[in-house]
Amino acid sequence: MDTENRMTTTHEDLLAQAERSLAAARAAAESDPLHPIYHITAPANWMNDPNGPVLYKGVYHLFYQLNPYGPDSANKAWGHVVSRDLVHWEHWPVALVPGPSAYDSEGVWSGCCVVHEGVPTILYTGVRPEVQCVARSADGLRTWAKEAANPVIGAPPRDDLTAFRDPFAWREGDEWRMLLGAGIAGQGGTALLYRSRDLVEWEYVHPLCIGFGQVWECPNFFPLGDKDVLVVSPYGPVQYSVGTYQEARFAPGEWHTLDLGGAADFYAPNSLLDAHGRRVMWGWIKGGGTAGRPWNGALSLPRVLTLTADDRVAVAPASELTRLRGAHSRVEDVHLRADGANPLAHLAGDTLEIAAELEVGNVDACGLGLRCGSNGEAAAQIVYERDGNQLRLNGTGGRLAPFLPDRPLQLRVFLDRSIVEVYANGRDCLTGRVYPNGNEGLGLSLFVTGGRARLKTMDVWDMGSIWEG
Residues of this chain that interact with ligand DQQ (CB under 6 A) are 48-49, 65, 76, 109-110, 125, 165-166, 181, 217-218, 233, 267-268
Cα-based distances in Å from 282 to 28, 67, 99: 25, 19, 27
Long-range pairs for 245-251: beta carbons < 8 A, 24 or more residues apart: 245/221, 248/177, 248/193, 248/205, 248/206, 248/208, 249/206, 249/208, 249/209, 250/208, 250/209, 250/221, 251/209
The distance from CA 40 to its chain's CA centroid, rounded to whole angstroms, is 10
Measure the CA–CA gap between 315 and 53, rounded to whole angstroms: 18
Query: Closest distance between ligand DQQ and the C-beta of residue 125, in Å?
Result: 5
Long-range pairs for 303-310: beta carbons < 8 A, 24 or more residues apart: 303/429, 304/278, 304/279, 304/280, 305/224, 305/229, 305/271, 305/278, 305/279, 305/280, 305/281, 306/224, 306/225, 306/279, 307/224, 307/225, 307/226, 307/227, 307/229, 307/242, 308/427
Torsion of CA 376, 382, 386, 387, to 10 degrees: 100
Please identify, using beta-carbon distances, which residue of 265 and 353 lies nearer to ligand DQQ: 265
Query: Closest distance between ligand DQQ and the C-beta of residue 166, in Å?
Result: 5
Please identify, using beta-carbon distances, which residue of 77 and 82 lies nearer to ligand DQQ: 77
Please identify, using beta-carbon distances, which residue of 133 and 380 lies nearer to ligand DQQ: 133
Please identify, using beta-carbon distances, which residue of 124 and 461 lies nearer to ligand DQQ: 124
Measure the CA–CA gap between 262 and 398, rounded to whole angstroms: 7
> In the sheet that 295-296 helps form, which strands lie side by side, from edge to edge?
89-96, 77-83, 59-67, 45-56, 295-296
The secondary element (H helix, E strand) that includes residue 257 is strand 249-257
Measure the CA–CA gap between 120 and 131, rounded to whole angstroms: 20
Measure the CA–CA gap between 349 and 371, rounded to whole angstroms: 7
Please identify, using beta-carbon distances, which residue of 137 and 233 lies nearer to ligand DQQ: 233
CB 451 within 8 A of CB 363: yes
Q: Where do the DSSP E strands lie in 378-418?
A: 378-385, 390-393, 409-416
Query: Closest distance between ligand DQQ and the C-beta of residue 169, in Å?
Result: 15
The answer to whether the peptide bond before residue 405 is cis (omega within 30 degrees of 0) is: no
Please identify, using beta-carbon distances, which residue of 47 and 380 lies nearer to ligand DQQ: 47
Query: Closest distance between ligand DQQ and the C-beta of residue 124, in Å?
Result: 8
Query: Closest distance between ligand DQQ and the C-beta of residue 218, in Å?
Result: 5
Query: Closest distance between ligand DQQ and the C-beta of residue 423, in Å?
Result: 23
Please identify, using beta-carbon distances, which residue of 124 and 202 lies nearer to ligand DQQ: 124
Please identify, using beta-carbon distances, which residue of 233 and 445 lies nearer to ligand DQQ: 233
Measure the CA–CA gap between 171 and 272, rounded to whole angstroms: 13
The active-site residue, picked from 2, 49, 104, 174, is 49
Query: Closest distance between ligand DQQ and the C-beta of residue 215, in Å?
Result: 8
Query: Closest distance between ligand DQQ and the C-beta of residue 22, in Å?
Result: 17
49 is known as an active-site residue: yes
> Looking at the annotation, which residues are catalytic?
49
